[in-house]
Amino acid sequence: MLNQLRTLLKENYHIDDISTETNIKTDLGLTSFDFINLIALIEDTFHIEIDEEKYHSINTVGDLIKYIEDTKK
Amino acid sequence: MPPEACLRATYNFRSEHRAKPANEENRRFSECCTADMEKQKMKKEKHMPPSDYDVVKYENFHELLKGIYDNYSERTAIRFRKNGKETSISYDALIRQISDLYYFYKKNDIQNSNIGILSENRYEYITIYLAGVFENVIAPIDRELTVDGLASLIEKFDIKVLFYTDKTKEKADALPQKDTLRRINIDAAYQTITQEHYDPDAFFKDTEHTDSHKFSVLAFTSGTTGIVKGAMLSQHNIVSNLRAPLLYMHLESPMLQLLPMSHMYGFHPDLLSPLYNGDTVCINMALKDIAKDFKYYNPYYIGVVPVMLEGIYKNIIREARRQKKEKLLYGLIKLSNGLRKCHIDIRRPLFQNLINKRLRIIVCGGAFLDPVYVDRFEEIGITVLNGYGMTECAPLISVNRDRNNIRGSAGAVIEGTKVKIADDGEILVKGWNVMSGYYNDKEETELSFVDGYYKTGDIGYLEDGILYVTGRKKNLIILKNGKNFSPEAVEKKLLRLPYVKECLVMADVRNSTEIIIAKILLDGNADNQDKACNDSGAGQLKKDIEAINRTLPSYMRIDDFEIVSEEFEKTSSQKIIRSRYTLPTENTIQKDEKQKEL
């Protein structure tokens, strides 16, 4: 999962240095609009729906992986 | 960085329903200014007519709703998609539902009340708002507010009815239980409250004598001070403002509505103006679906804030890069630019698939727009029209015209509005669009007006009737040598550096010498940080600041900079709360002296 996210971030944002601790909102240089676009990309890639009310609880790459895994179950 | 916070703003409230404008002069002006304004505008703007397009004139919501019912009944007013299913609402159905809700309010004794709407963007927002403005006051509420903030807002601004949704239920339920607040869940109750049908003709008869100057909307504004104020707006303030952009730009259906409806810009010019025009508005239900909605609805125009405009452009480049067509794109842009010089325009066939086929106009407002983006979009055949407004002005003050788009400006002052520049450079406004005052706040109202003009707190200048906004008055850096400048002018240069994410420029005093410093937050990307700080030992940032300094007058040059590690604290509309990081200029001397004492 981490590798898939790495590929997605590298292809779309030229970011390749991430770990589960990386904070998506503050460490990647994304604006709030970029963050929302990233959510859309993740939804398309992993075929899931991310509820916008949950955005505030997704901060790190680890949070995102957990959310994707929980949703896909 | 709260989600979608870039698009949100906080607003507020009122006191007497039949609002007599606090500022009598402003009201008198507002009642008789048509001819006067036209003469003045014609004098000032000899080369520009007062309007470019003919648009019917309505004075209040009764006239507006009757007008669109009579003229566009069969047309589609609203489209939206929910759970993959599209709903289409005609003007006829829209007016009928507004009429049903109007009588729901009446029959349930909801009259002379302040009605709060705590909701995400959705169709019902429109009907609740438009049915409520006649006998009540509508108060759109920012759903990003905390429960405490919401509770205090409800208390302070006498909200008696609160519409909320399943998405905002948690906050609504957490409010202190009070008999004085009636709560209505739109998801649970909307069908029930609109199930009794009424003849729209009866609704139009009952609202026939609507007072155009009645206080009808309480618009909250917190600004960068954090104190929520409620701008009291009349129907005439709003309805005249809805017409204004239509006079200056040719708009076609459909438009894609993206901004939060609780935001004055997101609801008035962005949603109600197209309805005024009989156009179809497609509601974007979640910002993450923006790319899909562009393709699905194929809009002719959209309204955005600068951060979205920049984001849309970056998406175009990112997609080109992903498809390994970035070089091709830049090559085609270069070719097209060259051909345009020879009056050959092939932008549509070349670039129509970058966003969608029809998009021609983007209206941008809400914050400073880097004019570079006006050029970038123009290159691909999309006109970006920048405007300027304030919540207190319903909100539009000026906007660029599609026939006279002036890069870097905030456009022409709209019809019915007069702008003058105070001796200290502050932009002052009076006219049809200006609020009557702040709700239950005489002191703040008095402070906000001078000689009948609303003090915007922004500084700028007028040139041939075109308004240029240069910065916030309270941000002005006043130096001991009498020179002064807006830090925003320097900040916008820093923000063009690709590795600078946020920055603040301010005056400081070191060793009794006044200096200009920049606090800079670098883009979180590690590569960028390295480039900025470690290049050749001296750092790219230092070199770039030296280059920027060479473009500035000596008193505006950055003497020193500091790299900060955390984002600056911001308001809900994503404006940095500058006062948290800067001292008024006069205090910098005292601070320096205190430091010396220590």
Predicted confidence band at B527 (pLDDT cuts at 50, 70, 90)?
Answer: low
- B387 and B251 co-located in one domain: yes
Q: Does B535 or B436 have the greater pLDDT score? A: B436
Residue of B nearest to A10 (CA): B322
B65-82: pLDDT as tens digits = 999 999 999 999 999 999
Q: Does A34 or B105 have the greater pLDDT score? A: B105
A36 vs B501: CB contact, 8 Å cut-off? Answer: no
- B352 and B207 co-located in one domain: yes
The pLDDT value given to residue A52: 79
> What whole-number distance in Å separates Cα of residue B532 and Cα of residue B542?
8
Averaged over B447-472, what is the pLDDT? 93
The pLDDT value given to residue B331: 94
Task: Say what percent of chain A tops pLDDT 70.
Answer: 100
Pick the last residue of a domain from B407, B433, B467: B467
B133, containing H or E segment: none
- B261 and B375 co-located in one domain: yes
The residue among B319, B385, B309 whose CA lies nearest residue B351 is B319
The pLDDT value given to residue B529: 60
Look at residue B559 and tell me whether its pLDDT is greater than 80.
yes
Chain B residues within an 8 Å CB radius of A30: 524
Predicted confidence band at B28 (pLDDT cuts at 50, 70, 90)?
Answer: very low
Chain B residues within an 8 Å CB radius of A15: 525
- B491 and B455 co-located in one domain: no
Size of interface A-B (CB pairs under 8 A): 73
Query: B382 with B322: CB under 8 angstroms?
Result: no
Predicted confidence band at B551 (pLDDT cuts at 50, 70, 90)?
Answer: confident
A19-37: pLDDT as tens digits = 888 888 777 777 777 888 8
What sign has the CA pseudo-torsion B548, B554, B556, B557? positive
Pick the last residue of a domain from B419, B435, B467: B467
Which of A12, A32, A52 is the closest to B318 by Cβ?
A12
- B461 and B480 co-located in one domain: no
The pLDDT value given to residue B406: 94
Residue of A nearest to B526 (CA): A17
Averaged over B412-420, what is the pLDDT? 95
Pick the last residue of a domain from B428, B444, B467: B467
A35 vs B3: CB contact, 8 Å cut-off? Answer: yes
- B449 and B512 co-located in one domain: no
Which of B6, B292, B318 is the closest to A31 by Cβ?
B6
How many other CB atoms are there within 10 angstroms of residue B241's CB atom? Answer: 28
- B513 and B373 co-located in one domain: no
B307 vs A37: CB contact, 8 Å cut-off? Answer: no
Domain covering A2-72, topology: 1.10.1200
B315 vs A37: CB contact, 8 Å cut-off? Answer: yes
Mean pLDDT of chain B: 85
B202-213: pLDDT as tens digits = 999 999 999 999
**Mean pLDDT lowest among B50-59, B196-205, B382-391:** B50-59
Q: Does B28 or A47 have the greater pLDDT score? A: A47
Chain A residues within an 8 Å CB radius of B567: 26
Chain A residues within an 8 Å CB radius of B311: 31, 33-34, 37
B298-354: pLDDT as tens digits = 999 999 988 889 889 988 888 888 888 889 999 999 999 999 999 999 998 899 888
Residue of B nearest to A7 (CA): B322
- B489 and B439 co-located in one domain: no
The pLDDT value given to residue B567: 83
Q: Using an 8 Å CB-CB cutoff, list residues of chain B that contact chain A.
A: 1-6, 167, 286-292, 307-308, 310-311, 314-315, 318, 321-322, 501, 523-526, 528, 566-567, 574
Which of B288, B321, B525 is the closest to A28 by Cβ?
B525
B280-295: pLDDT as tens digits = 999 999 888 998 899 9
Chain B residues within an 8 Å CB radius of A35: 1, 3
Which of A14, A28, A36 is the closest to B4 by Cβ?
A36
ipTM exceeds 0.85: no
- What angle, rounded to 10 degrees, do the helices at B372-379 and B306-322 form? 50
B310 vs A33: CB contact, 8 Å cut-off? Answer: yes
- B422 and B485 co-located in one domain: no
Predicted confidence band at B11 (pLDDT cuts at 50, 70, 90)?
Answer: very low
Residue of A nearest to B319 (CA): A12
> What whole-number distance in Å separates Cα of residue B585 and Cα of residue B160?
44
> What whole-number distance in Å separates Cα of residue B453 and Cα of residue B463?
19
The pLDDT value given to residue B522: 86
Domain boundaries, chain A: 2-72
- B116 and B227 co-located in one domain: yes
Residue of B nearest to A11 (CA): B322
Chain B residues within an 8 Å CB radius of A7: none
Domain containing B338 — which CATH number?
3.40.50.12780
The pLDDT value given to residue B16: 29
B179-232: pLDDT as tens digits = 889 999 999 999 999 999 999 999 999 999 999 999 999 999 865 455 789 999
B248-273: pLDDT as tens digits = 999 999 999 999 999 999 999 999 99
Look at residue B51 and tell me whether its pLDDT is greater than 80.
no
Domain containing B561 — which CATH number?
3.30.300.30
Q: Does B453 or A38 have the greater pLDDT score? A: B453
Chain A residues within an 8 Å CB radius of B528: 29
Predicted confidence band at B398 (pLDDT cuts at 50, 70, 90)?
Answer: very high
B314 vs A34: CB contact, 8 Å cut-off? Answer: yes
> What whole-number distance in Å separates Cα of residue B205 and Cα of residue B312?
46
Task: Say what percent of chain B tops pLDDT 90.
Answer: 59
**Domain count within chain B:** 2
- DSSP assignment of A3-71, as one string? HHHHHHHHHHH------TT-BTTTSS---HHHHHHHHHHHHHHHT----GGGGGG--BHHHHHHHHHHH
Look at residue B2 and tell me whether its pLDDT is greater than 50.
no
Which of B5, B289, B314 is the closest to A32 by Cβ?
B5
CA distance A50 to chain B (A): 10
Q: For residue B158, what are its two tokens?
A: 């006498």
CA B337 to each of CA B102, B340, B556: distance values in angstroms, whole numbers, following the listed order: 54, 5, 34
Chain B interface, best mutation among A36, A47, A56, by max B CB count within 10 A: A36
- B423 and B523 co-located in one domain: no
Give residue B343's domain range. 5-467
The pLDDT value given to residue B149: 87
Look at residue B153 and tell me whether its pLDDT is greater than 50.
yes
Name the residue type at position B47.
H
Averaged over B564-588, what is the pLDDT? 70
Chain A residues within an 8 Å CB radius of B574: 32
A52 vs B4: CB contact, 8 Å cut-off? Answer: yes
Chain B residues within an 8 Å CB radius of A13: 318
Look at residue B41 and tell me whether its pLDDT is greater than 70.
no
- What angle, rounded to 10 degrees, do the helices at B372-379 and B326-341 form? 90
Chain B residues within an 8 Å CB radius of A29: 501, 523-525, 528
Predicted confidence band at B572 (pLDDT cuts at 50, 70, 90)?
Answer: low
The residue among B502, B579, B529 whose CA lies nearest residue A31 is B502
- B256 and B388 co-located in one domain: yes
How far, rounded to the nearest angstrom, does the alpha carbon of residue B284 sit from its chain's CA centroid? 17
How far, rounded to the nearest angstrom, does the alpha carbon of residue B170 sit from its chain's CA centroid? 27
Look at residue B10 and tell me whether its pLDDT is greater than 60.
no
Predicted confidence band at B50 (pLDDT cuts at 50, 70, 90)?
Answer: low
Averaged over B85-110, what is the pLDDT? 97
